[in-house]
Amino acid sequence: MQLFIDTADIAVLKALAETGLVDGVTTNPSLIAKSGRQFIPTIAEICELIPGPISAEVAAIDAPTMIKEGEKLAGIASNVVVKLPLTFEGLKACAHFASQGIMTNVTLCFSVTQALLAAKAGATYVSPFVGRLEDQGADGIELLAEIRAVYDTYGYETEILAASIRTPAQVKAAALAGADCATLPPGVFRDLVKHPLTDKGLEQFLSDWKGTGQSILGELG
């Protein structure tokens, strides 16, 4: 499963990119506003930093303007993915971009039928919002599994991008449900590597090694 980072914070992305484990980035108007930076230059810098897919969202609500905005965004770099809302206007724009070979991410998906329409419109990615659904008492992971079943049954190539992820447990569940990708806040991404037994084991190993009085580098030198 590919792991994307959901942020527009360049400093954070630079630090996480050093792990070699970041496959892409998703942004939205709220994240751009939080960064306090200009939209276009920020997307351009992210595209240079991370070679994978970078989702940049349109601000319009009508298809003709979405298309104009999306074309401008796609012109920033070859790895830009035009992010569109899951509305009929957004799906019209999605179909247009699909015909032009421009990648799209249809966002704010909360049902299987919405995901079906996104696939029919030729979306590259569809983003079901797991956390927001579970905030309302619904089963966001079950939605991922149901979308997976529908896509596999009919051979749709749209990738399932699990969004609104809040915990490492949801990342695990999304992977088991068959999501192709997940986009994570930086904190959740960092938490994926953590486990108390790992910390305990490493502490013991280091203590035992220190007691030997040896140095690997010293011996190699």
Query: Which two three-digit tokens encode residue 200?
Result: 């305990």
C-alpha 25/C-alpha 3 separation (Å) is: 9
The pairing of beta strand 159-162 with beta strand 125-128: parallel
Identify the residue whose tokens are 């696939």.
119
Neighbours of 216 (CB within 10 A): 8
- Cα 135 to Cα 9, 51, 218: the distances in Å are 25, 33, 54
Q: Which residues contact 175 (CB under 8 A, 6 or more apart)?
A: 1, 182
CA distance 151 to 113: 11
Q: Which backbone phi and psi does 164 adopt, to 5 degrees?
A: 55, 45
Q: Which of 14, 34, 72, 83 is catalytic?
A: 83
C-alpha–C-alpha distance, residues 65 and 89, integer Å: 10
Tokens 């490493």 map to which residue?
Answer: 202
Q: At what angle do helices 63-74 and 88-99 cross, to 10 degrees?
A: 40
172 is catalytic: no
Strands (E), 90-200: 104-109, 125-128, 159-162, 181-184
Task: Please identify every residue annotated as catalytic.
Answer: 83
